[in-house]
Amino acid sequence: MSTQNENGAPKPPTPPDFHIDANEGSDVKKVIAVVSGKGGVGKSSVTAMSAVWARRNGYQTAVMDADITGPSVPKMFGVGYQDLVATEECLYPATTVTGIKVMSMNLLTKQEDAPVIWRSPVITGALKQFWTDVAWGSVDYMFIDMPPGTGDVPLTVFQSFPVDGIIVVTTPQDLVQMIVKKALGMAKLMKVPVLGIVENMSYIKCPHCGEEIHLFGESKVQEIADKENIPVIARIPIDPDMASFMDNGKAEYYECNFMDGLKEVLPEVEL
């Protein structure tokens, strides 16, 4: 390969490709990363609901919990240590009642409340093994629950895994514009498209008259999304029922159509 351009000047080196090969027992078609600016905004809930939406629509679906130090996905789906199968060659993800495949650090420890106190190279190493050592089987959509922010772990995911798109989760109290701009910046750097924004805890619905009450004032998310030219996938109300289903391992039993907007934004796969 020539190291000079057509004028004889030196060409910049090609950036290294950090992508790693998936386990040979995996055929994952599309990988979607779910990100947020900070914790507690409902990113894991949105990841779980996205997976439930995809499964209900007939897709082979998986969730990789990359929020290693605060893993909540197994709890939302009611799976645990006992659901994981390990052989000498590879690990098989846990499978939920409707057939969603789940892998999380929490599945590797018998005690779900044991903290993961690891330095970041160990964490990123473990995460890579979720890709190289887990036989995911055939998956149409894999949703990755990312840790909040733009640290080492998100960087590892974007550099190592073939991410096809990003979903940004915000709440009305968030500095939405800043978070969206940061996500767009990271997406651009990583050459991955932002598929859209989900505004969680957007409003509460009056149980008597059905009126939408905007606790934090009118939402700015549509305005910001329009400015940045990205779609708003969903605006999800604060719903105590949802928290109850999620927190009790019944994510798949929660009936809602909040995530229907995914149909418009997810990269297509053939069923």
Binding stretches for ligand ADP (CB under 6 A): 36, 39-45, 72, 200-201, 236, 238-239, 242-243, 246-247
Tell me how far, at minimum, the Cβ of 34 lies from ligand ADP, in Å.
9
Tell me how far, at minimum, the Cβ of 29 lies from ligand ADP, in Å.
25
Burial tier of 141 (Cβ tally within 10 Å: 0-12, 13-18, 19+): buried
Q: Which residues contact 61 (CB under 8 A, 6 or more apart)?
A: 51, 54, 55, 99, 100, 101, 139, 140, 141, 142, 143
Closest CB to ligand ADP among 39 and 78? 39
For 88, which DSSP code? S
Q: Of 153, 224, 238, 215, which is closest to residue 194 (Cα–Cα)?
A: 224
Tell me how far, at minimum, the Cβ of 123 lies from ligand ADP, in Å.
17
> Dihedral of CA 21/25/27/31: which sign?
negative
Q: What is the distance, to the nearest Å, from the Cα of residue 199 to the centroid of all Cα atoms in its chain?
A: 15
Tell me how far, at minimum, the Cβ of 67 lies from ligand ADP, in Å.
7
Closest CB to ligand ADP among 23 and 254? 254
Residues in the chain, total: 271
Integer Cα distance of 206 and 189 in angstroms: 42
DSSP 3-state of 194: strand
Which residue type does 225 have?
A: A
Tell me how far, at minimum, the Cβ of 246 lies from ligand ADP, in Å.
4
Tell me how many helices (H) and strands (E) the chain has: 8, 12
Tell me how far, at minimum, the Cβ of 243 lies from ligand ADP, in Å.
3
Tell me how far, at minimum, the Cβ of 147 lies from ligand ADP, in Å.
9
Q: Using an 8 Å Cβ cutoff, are 183 and 194 in contact?
A: yes
Q: Using an 8 Å Cβ cutoff, are 91 and 84 in contact?
A: yes
